Chain A
Amino acid sequence: MSEEVTKNIIVRDDEDYIINMGPQHPSTHGVLRLEVCLNGETVKYVIPHIGYIHRAIEKMSESDTYKQIIHLTDRMDYLSAHMNNEAVCLAVENALEIEVPKRVQYIRVVLDELTRLASHHLWWSAFGMDLGALTAFFYGMRDREKILAIFEESFGSRLLHSFNTPGGLMHDVHPDFQKHTMEFVRYFRKKLPEYKQLLTDNVIFHNRTQGIGKMSRETAIAFGVTGPSGRGSGFACDVRKVAPYGLYKEIDFNEILYDEGDSFARYLVRMDEMEESLNILEQVTDNIPEGDYTAKMKSIVKLPEGEYFQRVETARGELGIYIVSDGKKFPYRIKFRSPNFSNLFVLNTLAKGGLIADLVAISGSLDLVIPDIDR
């Protein structure tokens, strides 16, 4: 074991000064309980306690058809709802060797990137709030609202749209979908400098994040920290590049990598990713071809007996879905490899020896979504 991994070992003592952060705490972003041991203001160790929002999604999936499972995956990482849906769809499509229409592939990428942007907006807002910059919250929400309006127009719902279905989409997108998406891209290009002014260039913000929660590349790999958090440590783990799916093979985009590994690097990765998402949207949105919105599918999908694995890049990292099928209409077993679960457990390593305020800055920069951890 490397030194940084052994650093994670916790020695408890009866004399420890413990405070419970959560499950009802503003900066745990959900029902996560952190058992924080303090020495004055210094954090001695952090033990995350999970399970407060466990809904047995994996177990429930065993008695649902593949089309129904999609609606459950929304509820895991609700901010990456579309990518979660897509993971199930891709797994089923690959298992059945179905070629989805080009139009579907294009629309899925547009939705992927819009969802990623909306998720990063929310993260940016909440991260600002964690550090006490309350106004940032409303700036992020203002722009996120525009994306949710596009979703609402096409799917009727704003957050958990369950718009994917094995073989394609539920129905075609709204006729104005392309126009409004491009309007948003142009709008947000203008607004992104405001984010820079408000937080990125702020001296207090630098002091709060630079050098805080340093994670080496080895630690990131050892803990399986993926997504922007892993890429902030120089771990090239973008599934869109490593194992391209859908249309991503044909798109020209950069994988954002920073080597510093501190909270600020993780912050910059996400800021650059927003810009990269805009680039992808510009490439794809105007070129959505005409065609069917779904491939021909049977009304009840049955996977042949066997094991299937599919991974996608959500806004928080690598989501893996592992299906064991016995040939029936329900899966025999489904296992989700959720990114937040791995990202959470590096917290102790990063926060140890820092201050309480650093713990908040670190957990904010890891961008945790609790329902995805518990499932």
Chain B
Amino acid sequence: MLLDIYSFSTLTASINKDLHAAMTPWLAVATELVLIGLLFLTFYALLGLFLVYLERKVCAVMQNRIGPNRVGKWGVFQTIADLIKLVTKELIPIKNADSFLFNLAPFIVIIASFMAMAALPFAKGLQAIDFNIGIFYIIAVSSLGVVGILIAGWSSNSKYSLIGAMRSGAQVVSYELSVGLSLLAIVVLSGSMQLSTIVESQANGWWIFKGHIPALIAFVIYLIASTAEINRGPFDLAEAESELTAGFHTEYSGIKFAFFFLAEYINMFIVAAIAATLFFGGWMPFHIDHWEAFNRVMDYIPSIVWFFGKTFIIIYLIMWFKWTFPRLRIDQLLNLEWKYLLPLSLMNIVIVSFVVLMGWYF
């Protein structure tokens, strides 16, 4: 099949074979782990830098501006310059802060987002670990980040940080429910929690088309709830700068601040990647059942391009939200979740189960 040309599994299998030929099995596995870890670290850092650059350019376009344009051509090295600044900046110790927790918090946040990445299928055969409970795992680890945010707010010994952290806690815990339930709709449709199986199940059409109404409702709920879960505008109450200056990371400086900053952008990538994988087929090209010629043409586009293309379109959508809408108030935010999104997503689960039972999907 044409899809196999672009598969990364031949590459990874040959590396695996060579490593096993060269060393003892446990050493080979250890080497693989280190290699994958390094690969992810590099990818993580580069992606973070790129997303920050992208956001600045996207928001510039929306605001009639040019955006960064001094460092390198089109300002591409601007974020690298910023990174150097952040790394070399002084880490200001806070008086009466709980220094252990204060220093721990950024790591919890960044590790949570790092762990979620491991299970994402980036392309055909390019997935670090393919759990049979992949979706469950991603939801579980990505919600760990809020612990870091709460610790950051608590340990900073600052009232603004504390309010920001409490808001964030209330917000993330509530919206977690809608995120989980809307993803559950696709799990019901595809009958699996394993990400590779979910992607394979979309070979003859993406779930957003195949699952029609329930999938569409689930996608809209997911998009709203996940934007709220990653504390981005219009739900950026945890760091509402016009109210709380910077919310939970008010007291952080230098690289510790950069960790929060980076984690926020990576989280945006993760939620967009999950949306792309579950609703838009992940790395699966755009296929229409029985249109063989069309499907073959689509197959010529490598799977990695499909995955990142879809993900970045969703990222653009999330950025578009942020730069258009005013911020909600905390009570309105919780009302939206508990009074509208949660009942709707519960109802959607019933509808989608019914649709699956009756076989009303393509």
Q: Are B243 and A356 in contact (CB under 8 A)?
A: yes
Does chain B have a CB within 8 A of A99?
A: no
Q: Are B160 and A19 in contact (CB under 8 A)?
A: yes
Q: Contacts of A17 on B, CB cut-off 8 Å?
A: 159
Q: Which of B236, B243, B327, B328 has the most CB of A within 10 A?
A: B243
The 6 closest A-B pairs by CB, nearest first: A132-B327, A138-B63, A131-B326, A133-B326, A27-B242, A357-B329
Please judge, given known A-B contacts A135-B324, A204-B325, A356-B163, whether A130 and B234 are in contact too, CB under 8 Å: no
Residue numbers of B with Cβ under 8 A of A are 59, 62-65, 159-160, 163, 167, 233-234, 236-237, 240-245, 323-332
Q: Which of B163, B323, B325 has the most CB of A within 10 A?
A: B325
Q: Are B242 and A129 in contact (CB under 8 A)?
A: yes
Q: Are B326 and A27 in contact (CB under 8 A)?
A: no
Does chain B have a CB within 8 A of A313?
A: no
Q: Contacts of B65 on A, CB cut-off 8 Å?
A: 138
Q: Are B326 and A202 in contact (CB under 8 A)?
A: yes
Q: Contacts of A199 on B, CB cut-off 8 Å?
A: 326
Q: Contacts of B244 on A, CB cut-off 8 Å?
A: 356
Q: Contacts of A202 on B, CB cut-off 8 Å?
A: 325-326
17 further interface pairs, Cβ-Cβ under 8 Å (given A133-B326, A204-B332)? A25-B245, A41-B330, A132-B234, A132-B325, A134-B59, A134-B323, A135-B324, A137-B63, A198-B324, A204-B234, A207-B328, A208-B329, A357-B237, A357-B329, A357-B330, A360-B242, A360-B243
Q: Are A133 and B63 in contact (CB under 8 A)?
A: no
* Interface pairs (13), CB distance under 8 Å: A19-B159, A25-B245, A26-B241, A27-B243, A132-B236, A134-B63, A135-B59, A142-B64, A204-B325, A204-B326, A205-B326, A208-B326, A208-B328
Q: Contacts of A26 on B, CB cut-off 8 Å?
A: 241-242, 245
Q: Contacts of B245 on A, CB cut-off 8 Å?
A: 25-26
Q: Are B64 and A207 in contact (CB under 8 A)?
A: no
Q: Whole-angstrom distance from the CB of A128 to the nearest CB of chain B?
A: 7
Q: Contacts of B59 on A, CB cut-off 8 Å?
A: 134-135
Give the distance in Å from the alpha carbon of A130 to the alpha carbon of B240 in the complex.
Answer: 9
Q: Contacts of B62 on A, CB cut-off 8 Å?
A: 135
Interface residues of A in 293-350 (CB under 8 A from B): none
Q: Are B242 and A207 in contact (CB under 8 A)?
A: no
Determine the residue in chain B with the shortest Cβ distance to A126.
Answer: B242
Determine the residue in chain B with the shortest Cβ distance to A356.
Answer: B243
Q: Contacts of A128 on B, CB cut-off 8 Å?
A: 326
Q: Are B332 and A132 in contact (CB under 8 A)?
A: no
Q: Are B328 and A204 in contact (CB under 8 A)?
A: yes
Give the distance in Å from the alpha carbon of A335 to the alpha carbon of B22 in the complex.
Answer: 90
Give the distance in Å from the alpha carbon of A19 to the alpha carbon of B247 in the complex.
Answer: 13
Q: Are B240 and A357 in contact (CB under 8 A)?
A: yes
Give the distance in Å from the alpha carbon of A131 to the alpha carbon of B326 in the complex.
Answer: 5
Determine the residue in chain B with the shortest Cβ distance to A364.
Answer: B242
Q: Contacts of B328 on A, CB cut-off 8 Å?
A: 204, 207-208
Interface residues of A in 198-221 (CB under 8 A from B): 198-199, 202, 204-205, 207-208
Does chain B have a CB within 8 A of A256?
A: no
Q: Contacts of B331 on A, CB cut-off 8 Å?
A: 355
Q: Which of A137, A198, A355, A356 has the most CB of B within 10 A?
A: A356
Q: Which of A137, A139, A207 has the most CB of B within 10 A?
A: A207
Q: Contacts of A137 on B, CB cut-off 8 Å?
A: 63
Q: Contacts of A204 on B, CB cut-off 8 Å?
A: 234, 325-328, 332
Q: Whole-angstrom distance from the CB of B120 to the nearest CB of chain A?
A: 30
Does chain B have a CB within 8 A of A372?
A: no
Does chain B have a CB within 8 A of A262?
A: no
Q: Are B243 and A357 in contact (CB under 8 A)?
A: yes
Determine the residue in chain A with the shortest Cβ distance to B330.
Answer: A41
Q: Are A132 and B240 in contact (CB under 8 A)?
A: yes
Determine the residue in chain B with the shortest Cβ distance to A24.
Answer: B245
Q: Are A135 and B63 in contact (CB under 8 A)?
A: yes
Q: Contacts of B240 on A, CB cut-off 8 Å?
A: 132, 357
Give the distance in Å from the alpha carbon of A265 to the alpha carbon of B160 in the complex.
Answer: 30
Q: Contacts of A19 on B, CB cut-off 8 Å?
A: 159-160, 163
Q: Which of B163, B242, B323 has the most CB of A within 10 A?
A: B242
Q: Are B242 and A131 in contact (CB under 8 A)?
A: yes
Give the distance in Å from the alpha carbon of A129 to the alpha carbon of B233 in the complex.
Answer: 12
Q: Whole-angstrom distance from the CB of B191 to the nearest CB of chain A?
A: 37
Q: Whole-angstrom distance from the CB of B246 to the nearest CB of chain A?
A: 10
Please judge, given known A-B contacts A135-B324, A139-B64, whether A207 and B159 are in contact too, CB under 8 Å: no
Specify which of B63, B324, B332 is in contact with A207 (CB 8 Å cutoff).
B332
Q: Whole-angstrom distance from the CB of B238 to the nearest CB of chain A?
A: 12
Give the distance in Å from the alpha carbon of A198 to the alpha carbon of B64 in the complex.
Answer: 14
Q: Which of B65, B167, B244 has the most CB of A within 10 A?
A: B244
Give the distance in Å from the alpha carbon of A101 to the alpha carbon of B270 in the complex.
Answer: 68
Does chain B have a CB within 8 A of A273?
A: no
